[in-house]
Amino acid sequence: MTNPAPWWTSAVVYQIYPRSFLDRSGDGIGDLAGIRDRLDYLQWLGVDAIWLSPFYPSPMADFGYDVSNYVDVDPLFGTLAEFDVLVDECHRRDLKVIVDWVPNHSSDQHPWFIESRSSRTSEKRDWYYWRDGTRDRPPNNWRAAFGGRAWTWDEATSQWYLHLFLPEQPDLNWGNPEVREAMYGTLRFWLDRGVDGFRMDVIHGIGRDPLLPDAPYDVERVPWSSQNDHELTHEYLREIRKLIDAYPGDRVAIGEVFLLSTRKVATYYGHNDELHLSFNFPPLYAPWTADAWRRRVDRVVEEFDPISAWPTWVLSNHDNPRHRTRYGSEARAHAAAVLLLTLRGTPFVYAGEELGLEDAKIPASARVDPGDRDGCRAPIPWDGSAAHGWAGGSEAWLPWPPDSESRNMEALRDDPASILYLYRRLLVARRGSPALRSGSWQARPAPQGVLAYQRNSPDGTDSRTILINFTEHPWPVPVRIADAIVEIASDGVGEGLPYGGTLAPDQALILR
């Protein structure tokens, strides 16, 4: 008997940015209690797992991605006891829990860095990257992700320290075995508390050329965080994978590999001994055209299939403008939902996608993020009141998204024609179809501007055909399916009826 596929191959993962999900304490910042309050909603929606962006103690220079304690919960969000309850409540509803892990850098307020910075002879000096130089000449030409050089001069010890992001986020030296063991200890801490896996931030950054050579001249102004690609990372990932695989329950390691090359991303799966899943970001940046998306899917097939790597798909997240904003229309957001949830691989839904949210318009006086990502992190509106279901009135930590008085969970749940119900129908259809969950992917002939493909279950007993019109014009699209029935239509038109042979503008269909 063959072993069943791991749960994460057929799951739909729902990303929660805790600050923006729901506030229950009344301080205008989302918290663990707010997440727990909406678990029944997530179960109704039909997702299989939640991924929690950082909730650790942090000075919040980068809103949680500057961690000052890897094994606790920031009081803004709650307590460890509340986290344990949240995990138990998720598991009671058959929801898996994935937490963010930030191994590339810590906060400059982490006790490790405070000790490292205290003296050149500190026992933790080598836990970070310290290099000699002069006050006006850093050790190399690397650029930081948010602008400026990737080095900061420390006046007290007359050396530079490295940070691929903010100066408040010094990079950990993974070449030091003590650092690796300390970080592996943080993984064990959360695994022992029952989490089902990790989304690993900037995981391609942990291995470095020990010489820290200059970036090539032609890319010297490109942040090094999107260029670092060293063989040592793969050695460390094999250690991480071995640790995680020692736990029962198919715990999962999901990597943020921000290298805009599908070929390079594929290498981080190793020989099924590194990452279980990796984000592949070129599709996220693809324009809304059939040709662009066909190329992106073909690249995944070409690079992932030969090594039996399982793909991921994502249209929005906490670092990029929402796809409803990028694609420019409600109809396209509906069609994109069909695309996301029918491609072969594991889809990730960013909280609020199912509401069709756009980025908030943030006035200069309200901007807080160093990377100008506030718009996509706007609070989730749950009802049409001034406070939108949040405790403590309407003063959330960021302005609300557009049209929140009408585009909120409560209003959309009362409207069977809404995008919220489209997501629910798609998730129900996906769960009920072996072809959509884990089947093969095969392109089908289609006119210019249309992407057509077929999904077939491994045993051949289940099949679905997906048609997506990326244009504003109707297109006749014949299919080789006798008596094809429209199972899902992105606009809801014709569901349950025979397919008429024509795709409406910006429409996507699932046929069975």
Contact 40, 32 (CB under 8 A): no
User: Catalytic residue among 31, 66, 171, 256, which?
Assistant: 256
CATH code of residue 145? 3.90.400.10
CATH code of residue 456? 2.60.40.1180
Instruction: State both tokens at 401.
Output: 């998204």
Number of structural domains in the chain: 3
Q: Are residues 134 and 249 in the same domain?
A: no
Q: Is residue 2 part of a domain?
A: no
Q: Are residues 384 and 472 in the same domain?
A: no
239 is catalytic: no
Q: Are residues 34 and 126 in the same domain?
A: no
Cα torsion 74, 77, 82, 88: sign: negative
At residue 1, the pLDDT reads 46
At residue 2, the pLDDT reads 59
User: Catalytic residue among 62, 108, 201, 374, which?
Assistant: 201
Residue 148 φ/ψ, nearest 5 degrees: 80, 180
**The pTM is what?**
0.98
Which long-range contacts link 279-288 to residues 24+ away (Cβ below 8 Å)? 279/254, 279/255, 279/312, 279/314, 279/348, 280/311, 280/312, 281/314, 283/313, 283/314, 284/314, 284/315, 284/317, 284/320, 285/260, 288/326, 288/327, 288/328, 288/332, 288/336, 288/470
Kindly report, residue by residue over 275-320, the tens digit of the pLDDT: 999 999 999 999 999 999 999 999 999 999 999 999 999 999 999 9
At residue 3, the pLDDT reads 73
First-residue to last-residue Cα distance in the chain:
30
256 is catalytic: yes
Question: Which residues partner with 151 through β-bridges?
Answer: 162
Q: Are residues 397 and 256 in the same domain?
A: yes
Kindly report, residue by residue over 154-200, the tens digit of the pLDDT: 999 999 999 999 999 999 999 999 999 999 999 999 999 999 999 99
* β-pairing verdict for 440-444 and 13-16: unpaired
Q: Is residue 397 part of a domain?
A: yes
Q: What is the mean pLDDT of the chain?
A: 97
Question: Which residues partner with 476 through β-bridges?
Answer: 502
d(CA 244, CA 238): 10
Tell me the residue type at 263: R
Instruction: State both tokens at 408.
Output: 């909120």
Question: Which residues partner with 440 through β-bridges?
Answer: 456
Q: Are residues 213 and 285 in the same domain?
A: yes
CATH code of residue 28? 3.20.20.80
Q: Is residue 168 part of a domain?
A: no
Q: Are residues 142 and 42 in the same domain?
A: no
Instruction: State both tokens at 355.
Output: 């509401």
Domain of 484 in residue numbering reads as: 439-511
Counting as low any pLDDT under 50, the low residues of the chain are 1
Q: Are residues 356 and 444 in the same domain?
A: no
Contact 335, 510 (CB under 8 A): no
Q: Is residue 229 part of a domain?
A: yes
